[in-house]
């Protein structure tokens, strides 16, 4: 009987902290993206190649969440950008307070990009606002193409679906057209990019999307009352 009120209270407090994070990041023009996907979808490898392809002089940082270990942070830090591991100790998602505590360690530096790799899960992370500008859902071809129908919440909230590991298509019974159709049944306007972190396929489109999204954020910041 008290489960729903308690959940609402938790999410309400989370949203309050997320709003503060969003305001602070907007003030310094940082584009913040929250990557959500199942375990094994390839989020870490995707971010590794992204960091490798960022133009020289780009200021980027990564927060990566896992229940245990700092393995992903170690991998991502090899590319020369600031990285912090958030170890949840059992929680199946990141929340705004976890993000806020780690951003304070960086003193909200003026990054161009902040990439948040959420804990591998398509359900729990969907409900938690982290102060991001947008959610990106990562679906690999090693999963079922009906994932958008099974987990509509994240596909409804995401502005972009990364269809990842397309280099495996010759070896798996996955129908990309059907996966895209299912995703657009949930959210007709969702952007979709097919990628392979192994071969680099699709990363030109991804980097162009990322740049357009950064420019859009920059223009919104310039037109906000804080910059008037």
The CATH number of the domain holding residue 32 is 3.40.50.300
Residue 225 inside a domain? The answer is no
pLDDT at 216: 85
Q: Is 112:211 a contact under the CB 8 Å cutoff?
A: no
Residue 226 inside a domain? The answer is no
Residue 227 inside a domain? The answer is no
pLDDT at 219: 77
**Residues for the chain: how many in total?**
228
Residue 47 tokens read as: 């971010």
pLDDT at 227: 45
pLDDT at 198: 97
Domain that holds residue 85: 3-216
Residue 204 inside a domain? The answer is yes
pLDDT at 5: 61
> What is the total count of domains within the chain?
1
Give average pLDDT by consecutive 10-residue segment, the chain, 228 residues: 58 95 93 97 98 97 95 96 94 96 88 97 97 98 97 98 98 98 98 98 98 86 56
List b or e across 159-180, with b for residues whose CB sees 16 or more CB atoms inside 10 angstroms: bbbbbbbbeeeeeeebeeeebb
pLDDT at 108: 78
3-class DSSP state of 88: coil
Residue 115 inside a domain? The answer is yes
Residue 72 inside a domain? The answer is yes
Residue 224 inside a domain? The answer is no
Q: Is the dihedral of CA 10, 11, 16, 22 positive or negative?
A: positive
pLDDT at 159: 98
Q: Is 204:102 a contact under the CB 8 Å cutoff?
A: no
Please name the residues in contact with 50: beta carbons below 8 A apart, sequence gap of 6 or more. 115, 203, 206, 207, 210
Strand order in the sheet with 31-37: 83-87, 60-66, 113-117, 31-37, 134-140, 160-164, 191-194
- Strands 113-117 and 31-37 come out as parallel
pLDDT at 21: 97
pLDDT at 228: 45
Q: Say how far residue 86 (Cα) sits from the centre of its chain.
A: 14
- C-beta atoms surrounding 59 within 10 Å: 14
Q: Is 62:82 a contact under the CB 8 Å cutoff?
A: yes
pLDDT at 3: 53
Q: Using CA atoms, how far apart are residues 45 and 200, in angstroms rounded to an integer?
A: 11
pLDDT at 11: 84
Which segments within 112-182 are labelled E, that is strand? Answer: 113-117, 134-140, 160-164
Residue 221 inside a domain? The answer is no
């Amino acid at each position: 009987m008290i489960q729903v009120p308690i959940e609402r209270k938790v999410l309400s407090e989370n949203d309050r902290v997320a709003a503060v994070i969003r305001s602070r990041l907007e003030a310094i023009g940082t584009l913040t993206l929250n990557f959500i996907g199942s375990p094994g979808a390839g989020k870490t490898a995707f971010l590794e190649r992204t960091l490798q392809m960022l133009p020289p002089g780009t200021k980027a940082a990564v927060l990566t969440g896992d229940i245990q270990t700092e393995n992903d942070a170690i991998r991502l830090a090899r590319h020369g950008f600031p990285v912090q591991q958030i170890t949840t100790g059992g929680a199946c998602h990141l929340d705004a307070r976890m993000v806020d505590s780690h951003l304070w360690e960086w003193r909200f530096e003026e990054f161009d990009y902040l990439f948040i790799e959420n804990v591998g899960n398509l359900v729990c992370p969907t409900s938690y606002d982290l102060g991001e500008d947008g959610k990106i859902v990562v679906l690999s071809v090693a999963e079922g193409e009906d994932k958008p129908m099974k987990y509509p919440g994240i596909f409804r909230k995401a502005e972009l679906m990364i269809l990842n590991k397309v280099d495996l298509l010759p070896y798996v019974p996955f129908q990309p057209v059907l996966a895209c159709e299912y995703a657009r049944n949930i959210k007709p306007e969702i952007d979709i990019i097919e990628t392979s972190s192994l071969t680099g396929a699709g990363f030109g489109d991804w980097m162009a999307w990322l740049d357009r999204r950064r420019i859009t954020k920059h223009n919104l910041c310039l037109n906000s009352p804080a910059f008037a």
